[in-house]
Structure 1
Amino acid sequence: MDLLTQVVREAPVPLWVIDSQGLVSLANKAAIRFLGYKAEDDVVGGPSHDLLHCRRPDGTPYPKHECPIVGSGGTAPASEWFVTRAGDARPVQWTTRSIGPGLGTLLSFSPRPRTQKQIVRELRSRGPAPRTPAVQVRAELRESLCRTIASRFTDPEFTTAELAAAAHLSVRSVQALFAEAGTSPAAEIRRVRLEHARTLLAQGHAVQAACLASGFLDPGTFGRAFRQRFGCAPSQVPASLARN
């Protein structure tokens, strides 16, 4: 075996040579693996069209005379479906090139890149990814921290450090747990306080009372945080809810 033949057989790109009769005269290892065969002897000498795609992805026959590959001689990259030995249909992108009079056609192919829509559709069809034990444990720990916040947020002295101490964790560990959910412990404490204050205001409580009852000590800080979250001043809550 000469060096060039060996290089072709070991090339990472699937390569497939079709002779003038439409038979396979050479197939490298990458092409053989892609199509699910074990050895070169499984395909060499066989009809190229039947080995690549004797049927369409929907199971209907694919007549040889409709195949754009056999006899093409040379073409720009195009898309097709190849069918593996096991019967799996795989989308590919292929190109051909004539390798000289009487020598046949060189076919090279590779898996067709999936579009963003195809990837999203595939992920949705699989359903939610199962949680690994480690992910499950961290999610449950984060939920436990949220329950602690819900029971202690009215205490103005309750901070991220207090939350971490209650869970026997470091502040950094607690911050990392909330970061996995796209937030922070301080932001979650503030969110719960503001939600509670909004409920009190909607029930007719005075702004000062709602501020203090929700764990805020400074009315100015409370007002700015409330306006940033809800888009209105605390004093506007009852009228705003009435319009809604």
Structure 2
Amino acid sequence: MDALTDGMPHDATLLSTVLRDAPLPLWVIDEHGRVELANDAAVRFLGHRPGTDLRGGGSHDLLHRHRPDGTPYPKHECPIIHAKQPLAASEWFVTRAGDVRPVRWSTRPLAGTDSVLLSFAALGGSASRAHRAAPATRETRTETRARLLSEMQHAIASRMCDPMFSPATLATDNHLSVRSVQAIFAEAGTSPAAEIRRHRLEHARVLLARGESVQWACHASGYQDADSFARAYRQHFGYAPSRTRQP
């Protein structure tokens, strides 16, 4: 590609033809993050009909508008869109149909311009094999969300006694946004805040049933304020925490 961009006259028609017909998916991103050129190999890789003109579209959304588990992938977190020097990494792209395809990509700034050349290829075999495996990938995304939910539930059970533990902490630890974490829990009919509260209150009830004081159960369950603890306990169980201590 250096020979095309640096070592020969920049005949726009010739360059456009070479890029269009190259077997390797090639993608040019302008300084605003829009697609400046996408060759047919790239268009087909992403599940569009050959000849589809993607110029002017948002590169990030066309390549990977969400993560493999279906949660949003913010544009500002994308290394490709902000590439100012040669980069290479393994990641995933999302086809027009929403199938996740693992890829190996590399970027190279185009000399004399503010544009970036992106090339990519499927990981683990040819693009055709990856395309045929797409239906299984859909199920994998569901399994991934179920796994994340299970892992976060385990984290809640392990860390509920920490008064600083919160849905934001849970999101940060799992490299997700709070909204993404809330969406995963919502699919199970709950929320991260509700699960943290439930675990804390059930732990407090066990302590109270053992004869521990209300004050001790409050602080040992991650609550810092006795009044807040008492209100939450009453709302959850229907009676005051002191009643649990009664024989």
TM-score by shorter chain over 0.5: no
Larger Rg: 1
TM-score (norm 2): 0.44
